[in-house]
Chain A
Amino acid sequence: MNRRRYLTLASAGVVSSLAGCGGRGSTDASETSGDSGRSIDDHPAAANLEVQPRQGTLGGNVVLAFEDPSCSQCRRFHENAVPKIHSNIVEAGAGAFVVRTYPIIYPWGKPATQALESTLARTEEAFWALFDHYFATQGQFTSNNVFDRTEQFLAEATDLDGTAVVEDARNKAHDDAVQTDIAAAENADLPQQTPIVLLFRDGQFITRANGSVSYDLIANALGLS
């Protein structure tokens, strides 16, 4: 046996190592470099990009993040990379940071996403405040309290009528916006994990990063380091 069996086992280990995780992630089309160079105007993940919550102006570099408010890795991405993206890319005029919601991790992420879209339909400023609030106090949310806590936050920290926003969220009044984001992820064959960060340099897709990747990785990828 045993050399052949040994080599078989070793190969299985190597193949398994390279297979990675993430459901359908390892077989999707964007796992290869085939999408590189594709225009942001044609990329399915960037469909309807102009109406998504955005910091900075479109037309140059774009950091497009698919995030779930219930995902701990997204929280870490917001703590580590997003502040530097804001100061070094957005405020420096080097590009835009755009968010699309992708609620796939914990159940409370779904009603939270409905609330985010109902908030965005009113003001973008309140959307960013609520988005930050979900990450800042992520461990306190459950499916049972997400609407109550959202209503309380909006009433206390924004000018919005928290009761009206939550009523819309309960009734899924802006579900079309939620489904548009999910469809964008599915049409782009993104794996079912978050965060997923798509990078566009001067309007052209260059790659997709998974997880709480660092600002330095993003800056090097965009040629901004």
Chain B
Amino acid sequence: MSVLSRALRGVRLPTQRHDWQLMSRTARLVLTLPTYALIAVIAGVISLTAFVVSLNVPVFMDLVVGGTLPLSSRLAIVGELYPFVGTNFTVVQGLLLVVVALLTGTDIAMVTYHFREHGFDIQQGGAGAAGMVLGTLGAGCAACGSAVMVGLLSLVGVSASVLFLPLDGLEFALGAVVVLTLSIYWLADGMRGGEINGCPVDI
């Protein structure tokens, strides 16, 4: 416990209103730069695509990459894998996946900016990678989340009967939102006092 306390002592959390204002301002300043806005869009699309394709790799490989279907059918099949186009996700699941993708894009753009302009901090990068992992688990759990937990927790001998996740697996996507938000906050906090595109980063 004391080890954990020591480890957490230096960790700052966005608990005040000005923390959220700092995150918002920093993200906005980074994303107003065309290069980083493009990075955010590309990263967001790639992350969402990776999330949904990872749930249906056989379909993607057999029908989109391989197979004999015409191009229009291949594109239609890819489209049907996404939330709000196909039926694989509920509205809540789809919204959460889109939020995770937006946060992932923003986070990667900010990490890239910070890395290129100010160097890099392992704590921030670790949180971003953890967000990606949690986002993937969230997408997986949207398909039938308890089965994921059965697979993971059976490794340590946990019975399937205890795995009644109240949100049917969306807990992982919510976890991804939290981790990505924390990552963005720590990045913004690391840029505090500096300048982005000539504008001061401070609240």
Distance from B132 Cβ to chain A, minimum over Cβ atoms (Å): 3
* B58 & A13 in contact (Cβ 8 Å cutoff): no
- Judged by a CB distance under 8 angstroms, whether A174 is at the interface is no
Highest count of chain B CB atoms <10 Å: which of A20, A22, A31, A191: A20
Bound together, the chains give a CA A13 to CA B51 distance in angstroms of 11
Grouping DSSP codes into helix (H, G, I), strand (E, B) and loop, the B interface class, with mixed when no group exceeds half, is: helix
Please pick, from B56, B115, B139, B151, the residue contacting A2 in the complex, using a CB distance under 8 A.
B115
In the bound assembly, the distance between CA atoms of A196 and B146 in angstroms comes to: 15
Can you name the residue of chain B whose Cβ is closest to the Cβ of A77?
A: B87
**Interface size for chain B: under 10, 10 to 19, 20 to 34, or 35 or more residues?**
35 or more
A152 at the interface (CB under 8 A from B): no
Q: Is the pair B168, A72 in contact by a Cβ cutoff of 8 Å? A: yes
Q: Are the CB atoms of B140 and A20 closer together than 8 Å?
A: yes
A6 to B123, CA, bound (A): 11
Contact indicator B148/A23 (Cβ below 8 Å): yes
Q: Is the CB of A6 within 8 A of B115?
A: yes
Query: Which residues does chain B contribute within 8 Å of A214, judged by CB atoms?
Result: 80, 86-88
Among the listed A16, A105, A193, A194, which residue makes an inter-chain contact with B132, where contact means beta carbons less than 8 Å apart? A16
For the complex, is A87 an interface residue (Cβ under 8 Å from B)? no
CB distance from B176 to the nearest CB of A (A): 11
Tell me, yes or no, whether B57 is within 8 Å of chain A by CB: yes
The answer to whether the Cβ of B31 comes within 8 Å of any Cβ in the partner chain is: no
Residues 37 to 80 of chain B near chain A (Cβ within 8 Å): 47, 50-51, 53-59, 61-63, 65-67, 69, 73, 76-77, 80
B105 CB within 8 Å of chain A: no
Interface residues of A in 204-218 (CB under 8 A from B): 206-214, 216-217
Are B77 and A22 within 8 A (Cβ)?
Answer: no
A72 to B69, CA, bound (A): 31
What residues of chain B lie closer than 8 Å to A121, measured between beta carbons? none
Quick one: which of B67, B139, B148 contacts A206, CB cutoff 8 A? B67
Tell me whether A220 is interfacial, beta carbon within 8 Å: yes
Q: CB of A52 within 8 A of chain B?
A: no
Residue A19, interface by CB 8 Å: yes
Whether B196 is near chain A, meaning CB under 8 Å from some CB there, is no
Determine whether the beta carbon of B150 is less than 8 Å from that of A192: yes
Beta-carbon contact of A31 and B151 below 8 Å: no
Q: Beta-carbon contacts of A21-58 to B below 8 Å, as 1s and 0s?
A: 11110100011110010000000000000000000000
Whether B137 is near chain A, meaning CB under 8 Å from some CB there, is yes
B contact residues around A217 at 8 Å (CB): 59, 76-77, 80-81, 86
Q: Is A221 engaged at the interface, CB distance under 8 Å to the other chain?
A: yes
> A25 to nearest B CB, angstroms?
8
Q: Are B120 and A21 in contact (CB under 8 A)?
A: no
Q: Which of A13, A107, A194 contacts B147 (CB 8 A)?
A: A194
A24 near B151 (CB under 8 angstroms)?
Answer: yes
Contact B129 A12 (CB under 8 A): yes
Interface check A73, CB cutoff 8 A: yes
Interface pair A213/B50, CB less than 8 Å apart: no
B98 interfacial by beta-carbon distance below 8 Å:
no
Name the interface residues of A94-109: CB closer than 8 Å to any CB of B: 104-107
Given contacts A14-B50, A207-B59, contact A80 B136 (CB under 8 A): no
Residue of B nearest to A24 (CB): B151
Chain B positions within 8 Å of A, measured between CB atoms, are: 47, 50-51, 53-59, 61-63, 65-67, 69, 73, 76-77, 80-81, 86-88, 90, 111, 115, 119-120, 122, 125-126, 128-129, 132-133, 135-137, 139-144, 146-148, 150-152, 154, 160-161, 164, 168
5 contacts between A and B (CB under 8 A): A17-B132, A21-B136, A21-B137, A76-B90, A210-B55
A sample of 11 more A-B contacts (CB under 8 A), given A107-B160, A207-B59, A213-B87, is A12-B129, A18-B53, A18-B54, A21-B139, A23-B150, A36-B62, A106-B146, A192-B150, A193-B143, A223-B69, A223-B73
